[in-house]
Amino acid sequence: MSQLELDDFYDLATPQQVAVSPDGERVAFLAQEFDPEEDESRMSLFVAPADGSREPHRLSRASDAGAPAWSPDGRYLGFIAARDPDVGRRVGREDEDEEDTDEPEDDAADDEDDTDAEDGGGGSDGPKPQVWAFDMELGGDAVQLTDHEEGVREFDWGPDGDRLVVSARDPTDEQQETLDQRRDDGPIEIERLQHKADGQGWLDDVTTYLFVVDVETGEDQRLDDAYGQGAREPLFGLQPAWGPSGRIAFASNRTERPDDSGVMDLYTIDPDGTDLRKLTDSARRSSAYEWSPDGEQLAFVSGDPDNWYEPSELWVVNPDGTEEPPMHSVTGSLDRTVAMMASPAWLDSETLLTAVGDEGHTQLIRADADEDDPERTFPALTRGRTLGFSDAAGGTVAAVVSDPQAGSDVFALDAAELDESDPDSLTQLSELNADLLADVEMPDCRRVRTENGDGGEVEAITYLPPDFDPETDDPRPVVASIHGGPMSYDAPTFQFSFAYWANQGYVVYRPNYRGSTSYGQAFAESLKGTRGDLETDDVLSVLDELVDRGWVDDERSLVTGFSYGGITTANVVTRSDRFAAGAAEHGVYDFRSTFGTDDNHLWHEWEFGLPWEEPELFEDISSITDVDQISTPLLVSAGENDWRCPPTQAEQLYVSVRKQSVPAKLVIYQDEHHNISTPDRAIHRLESLTEWFREHDPGHEPDEE
């Protein structure tokens, strides 16, 4: 058996969104792959028979694909991609009486005028994202279905499959002049409160509308009353969903101050742009709309627009308002949050399926659309692995299942067998990492629960080195890897970095500290209004437990975390010198100075107030206030264009630590947003962390490498 090496990262493939065909016989899915020569991440589209009778067939190669969706009759598989324009739209001559000539010279000129995503979300100088579709009966390359100058962000099929609804930006002439000014490196002028968004760049006032597109001709109609608005729209979009009844659902914020509000209201409209109806009361954050098969009900995920500690719930609404109550939660009694990025799926007109976070585990629940009496299902998943994206249609359920030892793959089962407990009842549709993991020893993953300093319980997902016998072997060095959020949670999953560190001899533990979701609202909300003390206590409590078990060497303990995990890492090293080295990645350390320079002003105001009104609180929650207590060697990293946790935060922490002659290192990833986007940088990140840990691990000997 061999060890996992850093360069193996290039061979990693990670399944993403799944889409089941209407008849339940085929499953489409995305897989993230890497191109080492171009140093790029690729999102490829595959399709496989749901019975596993053959290997998945690759549909896309040269360009990324996203948001796969089957036409209602299952003939077409639509997706969004930024590809070179369809040759079918460029060959031959158009009728002489057509006003638009679409000559190649005009296309080139338009490309030069395209807006960079960092300057308002209009795309780069290359092709714009459009809707494409594969004909799954006739075969051949995908056909381009839309041609919006600013590109298409989202889409859904009409109930007859002959039309689409898409969301797209539509600048006025004056707004276009402003966008052109930005592209020419002119000044950026903004008057809206939500002036930036991570990954989207500097925002503008261009409105995004819904358009109904004729699939055959490409002609479209703008729905003037169906537009997006609000602080959350740049990140979450309009989320159009076209139901069997003919109505189109979408999200928008029409409150008095939409940029000062996290509300996302649910609206419906007729496809001719008439009869706009608002279904929610501007008191919630609604998303992930799914119509029932009969078109009489609409399911969606609903959360508090401010309090993300509160569990998101699955709601059902009667769009016609003919029933009382007109809308209700069907999962509120669980006290468990709908999993991040999860959407509801209808098994039939009365039964829903979705994924929830349940004590450090993502699992499916089945719910009656008429009452709040959900039940846990899908025991074949087991608590030793976790669920990713899922979908259901035509009596088939498909899901991404992540196993700490076997990797992540797509599986399917008959919806009638959801309660089957035998893991072998699942049909495996992909083996994306079979070659990569075939000869690699993988870590043993275990749950560790212990009491924290306040008498409550805290749980951690723990990875043990493959050659480690916890009953007889000497203690090993340990890495505490702290998740972001904090409204998130860790579950048993395959992740390259954890497997790599375990192969290097480290025990890795991932604590679900207070503030984490999946353990109920009280556990998550206990963190509200505070920073540092509770998370540090939980991180150290798990470390104490692992030391007491004899699994880890207390003198060789290391700590790291990304985003909120970076925030917690900084808080840990201001409160404790237990760790031999730390790495705070892409975090916030001075909440006063980050206010207004990041895209999180709504969250921080809700939880802490305004910094000029609560100066003492903002000082208290900032680790930079206690930076003089840090004696732990600290690596600090950031993305140069990170507007979730601005790089100036990393600079402040680094300089403050270095000023005290504490060993420190600053890593800035140029042109990078909050997350790491390229394989070279992902490998560099992991290599930098490992080298920093080895350098400051008192028990590490260079010849061990």
pLDDT one-digit tens code per residue, 627-681: 999 999 999 999 999 999 999 999 999 999 999 999 999 999 999 999 999 999 9
Q: How far apart are CA 107 and CA 644, in angstroms?
A: 35
Instruction: Give the domain extent around 525.
Output: 442-704
pLDDT of amino acid 280: 95
Q: How far apart are CA 621 and CA 664, in angstroms?
A: 22
pLDDT of amino acid 2: 85
The answer to whether the beta carbons of residues 543 and 514 sit under 8 Å apart is no
Of 268, 215, 241, nearest to 78 by C-alpha is 215
The answer to whether the beta carbons of residues 563 and 515 sit under 8 Å apart is no
**For the chain, what's the residue count?**
705
pLDDT of amino acid 701: 87
How many distinct structural domains can be found in the chain? 1
Residue 251 located in a structural domain: no
pLDDT of amino acid 398: 98
The answer to whether the beta carbons of residues 231 and 262 sit under 8 Å apart is yes
CATH of the domain at 466: 3.40.50.1820
**CB neighbours of residue 205 within 10 Å:** 14
pLDDT of amino acid 324: 56
Residue 220 located in a structural domain: no
For 213-226, b/e burial (b = at least 16 CB within 10 A) is bebeeeebeebeeb
Backbone φ and ψ of 667, nearest 5°: -125, 120
Torsion of CA 487, 561, 470, 701, to 10 degrees: 180
Q: How far apart are CA 212 and CA 226, in angstroms?
A: 11
In DSSP notation, 221-267 reads EEEEEEE--STTHHHH----EE-TTS-EEEEE--SSSGGG---BEEE
The C-alpha angle 685, 449, 514, rounded to 5 degrees, equals 65
Six token digits for residue 454 = 């306040």
Residue 591 located in a structural domain: yes
pLDDT of amino acid 320: 81
pLDDT of amino acid 93: 44
Task: Give pLDDT < 70 ranges for the chain.
Answer: 62, 89-124, 321-325, 703-705
Task: Give whole-number Cα distances, 352 to 371, 383, 426, in Å.
Answer: 11, 22, 20
The answer to whether the beta carbons of residues 291 and 245 sit under 8 Å apart is yes
Residue 648 located in a structural domain: yes
pLDDT of amino acid 323: 57
Question: CB pairs under 8 A, 24+ apart, for 271-277?
Answer: 271/158, 271/163, 271/165, 271/212, 271/223, 271/242, 271/246, 272/212, 272/221, 273/221, 273/222, 273/223, 273/224, 273/225, 273/226, 276/225, 276/226, 277/319
Residue 567 located in a structural domain: yes
Residue 426 located in a structural domain: no
Residue 57 located in a structural domain: no
pLDDT in tens, 608-622: 999 999 999 999 999
The answer to whether the beta carbons of residues 489 and 517 sit under 8 Å apart is yes
pLDDT of amino acid 118: 45
pLDDT of amino acid 317: 96
Residue 562 located in a structural domain: yes
The answer to whether the beta carbons of residues 679 and 9 sit under 8 Å apart is yes
- Kindly report the pTM of this predicted structure: 0.93
pLDDT of amino acid 124: 53
What are the counts of helices (DSSP H) followed by strands (DSSP E) for the chain?
13, 38
